Chain A
Amino acid sequence: MTPKNIKIQCPLPHATEDTIRLAHGGGGHLMQTLIHEIFLQAFSNPFLNSLQDGAVLPSQDGHLVMTTDSYVVHPLFFPGGDIGSLAVHGTINDLAMMGANPLYLSAGFILEEGLSIDTLKRVVSSMAKTAQACGVHIVCGDTKVVDRGKGDQIFINTTGLGVIPSSVDIGPHRITPGDRMILSGDLGRHGMAVLSKREGLTFSGDIASDSAPLHDVVMDLIGRGLSIHCLRDLTRGGLASALNELASTAQVSMTIDESQIPVSESVRGACEILGLDPLYVANEGRCVLFLPLADVDKALSILQSHAISALAVEIGEAHPLSSNHTAQVILRTPYGTHRILELLSGDQLPRIC
Chain B
Amino acid sequence: MKYVDEFRDPDAVHALSREIHQITRHPWTIMEVCGGQTHSIVRYGLDRLLPPAITLIHGPGCPVCVTPIELIDTACQLAALPEVIFCSFGDMLRVPGSHEDLLHVKAQGGDIRIIYSPLDAVGIAQSNPQRQIICFAVGFETTAPAQAMAVLQARRLHLSNFSLLVAHVLVPPAIEAILSSPENRVQSFLAAGHVCTIMGYDIYEPICRRYQVPIVVTGFEPVDILEGLRLVVAQLEEGRYEVENQYARSVHRTGNLEARKVVDEVFESASRNWRGIGEIPESGLQLRPTFSEFDALRTFKDRIQLSSRANATESECQSGRILQGLMKPSACSAFGTRCTPDHPLGAPMVSTEGACAAYYQYRHHEVAPGEK
Contact = CB atoms under 8 A, between A and B. Distances in A.
Interface of A: 199, 201, 265, 268-269, 272, 274-275, 322, 324, 326, 328, 333-340, 342, 345-346
8 contacts: A269-B1, A334-B13, A337-B44, A337-B49, A340-B362, A340-B364, A345-B340, A346-B342
Nearest to A342: B361
Contacts, number: 59
Contacts of B341: 345-346
B189 interface: no
A335 B14 contact: yes
Contact of A338 (B45, B49, B342): B45
Nearest to B8: A334
Closest 4 CB pairs of A and B: A337-B45, A345-B341, A339-B362, A334-B10
Contacts of B361: 340, 342, 345
A342 B360 contact: yes
Interface residues of B, number: 28
A304 to B, nearest CB: 25
Nearest to B14: A335
Contacts of B13: 334-335
B351 to A, nearest CB: 10
A346 B365 CA distance: 19
A272 B222 CA distance: 14
Contacts of B8: 334
Interface in B113-169: 116
Interface centre among B1, B49, B360 (most CB of A within 10 A): B1
A269 B341 CA distance: 26
A334 B49 CA distance: 12
B48 to A, nearest CB: 5
Contacts of B334: none
Contacts of B365: 322, 324, 326, 328, 340
Interface centre among A268, A328, A340 (most CB of B within 10 A): A340
Contacts of A333: 43-45
Nearest to B39: A275
B364 A275 contact: no
Interface in B5-46: 8, 10, 13-14, 42-46
Interface in B77-110: 94
